[in-house]
């Protein structure tokens, strides 16, 4: 209990340091046969700042609609402290998972649709624990995390933890910068029987107005059920302020059962 109180006190203390407040809001307009409406579906509220030269913090609240009654609710999405040690960066608290971030930026349109790995439930986007990240070379980054495993919406219910390793080579933010990347994620969580494991192999490239991304994911549950997911996305800038995009997902919830998968296609135009 003393350790828990210490961490909470640390958050309270650094929040008094220099901080910034920001946010992101997603509106949309629907015009269908039965309804025509403006919608407010998502709001992110961000508090971030620097407590010292080596310590930074970030707190994000996510406002979205409930599936049951469409009421807007707010919940804590991230409460993370980053400490730049001499050997690596240490992150502690409710931290963003290293299993999906690069893939999501290769896709580039989180405000329209979740990344494939997130949408199909292969990994939570945040969890409580500790992470270590280090640039081995100029373009090779390693990130190791030890977290509860239940995700940011649920408390820990057992004695087992999830261990996740991400190795990414190249530009991690293709939605903002030209370049390329390739990487792999491996996560494992023990249980009373067999462990639950997830492997994601991904890559992407961007240049001359074109961005392409792809990933192949395999989730093996403790009961032996194997789920597979293949996702390919494409974005092209027609003009400085007009982009067209398309994404195709092939999700198989049980590799041992034939014809139980589902395919998902999304395409559109974005006016910047």
Split the chain (272 residues) into runs of 10 and give each run's mean pLDDT.
47 58 78 79 84 88 77 85 92 94 95 92 92 92 94 83 97 96 97 93 97 97 94 94 96 88 94 81
pLDDT of residue 167: 97
pLDDT of residue 8: 46
pLDDT of residue 214: 97
Report the alpha-carbon distance of residue 94 to residue 60 in Å, rounded: 10
pLDDT of residue 6: 47
Q: Residues for the chain: how many in total?
A: 272
pLDDT of residue 217: 98
pLDDT of residue 1: 42
pLDDT of residue 17: 54
In this prediction the pTM is 0.83
Report the alpha-carbon distance of residue 5 to residue 110 in Å, rounded: 35
Q: E strands of the chain, at which residues?
A: 18-31, 36-50, 55-65, 72-84, 89-96, 126-135, 140-147, 162-170, 179-189, 196-207, 210-220, 226-239, 242-252, 262-271
pLDDT of residue 18: 65
Whether 60 contacts 23, CB under 8 Å: no
CA distances from 77 to 124, 226, 231, 268 (A): 11, 28, 25, 28
């Amino acid at each position: 209990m003393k350790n828990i109180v210490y961490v909470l006190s640390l958050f309270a203390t650094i929040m008094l340091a220099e901080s910034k407040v920001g946010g992101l809001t997603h509106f949309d307009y629907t015009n269908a046969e039965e309804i025509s409406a403006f919608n407010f579906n998502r709001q992110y509220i961000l508090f971030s700042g620097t407590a010292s030269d080596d310590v930074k913090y970030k707190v994000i609240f996510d406002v979205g609609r409930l599936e049951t009654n469409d009421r807007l609710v707010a919940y804590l999405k991230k409460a993370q402290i980053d400490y730049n040690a001499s050997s690596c960066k240490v992150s502690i608290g409710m931290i963003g998972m290293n299993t999906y971030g690069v893939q999501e930026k290769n896709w580039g349109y989180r405000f329209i649709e979740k990344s494939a790995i997130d949408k199909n439930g292969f990994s939570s986007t945040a969890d409580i624990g500790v992470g270590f990240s280090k640039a081995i070379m100029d373009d090779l980054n390693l990130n190791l995390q030890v977290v509860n495993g239940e995700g940011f919406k649920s408390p820990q219910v057992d004695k087992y933890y999830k261990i996740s390793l991400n190795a990414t080579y190249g530009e991690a933010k293709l939605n903002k910068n030209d370049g390329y990347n390739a990487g792999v994620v491996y996560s494992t969580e023990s249980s009373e029987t067999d462990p639950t494991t997830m492997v994601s192999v991904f890559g992407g490239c961007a240049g001359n107005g074109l961005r392409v991304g792809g990933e192949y994911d395999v989730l093996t549950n403790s009961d032996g059920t194997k789920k597979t997911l293949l996702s390919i996305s494409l974005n092209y800038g027609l003009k400085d302020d007009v982009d067209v995009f398309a994404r195709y997902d092939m999700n198989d919830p049980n590799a041992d059962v034939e014809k139980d998968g589902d395919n998902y296609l999304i395409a559109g135009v974005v006016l910047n």
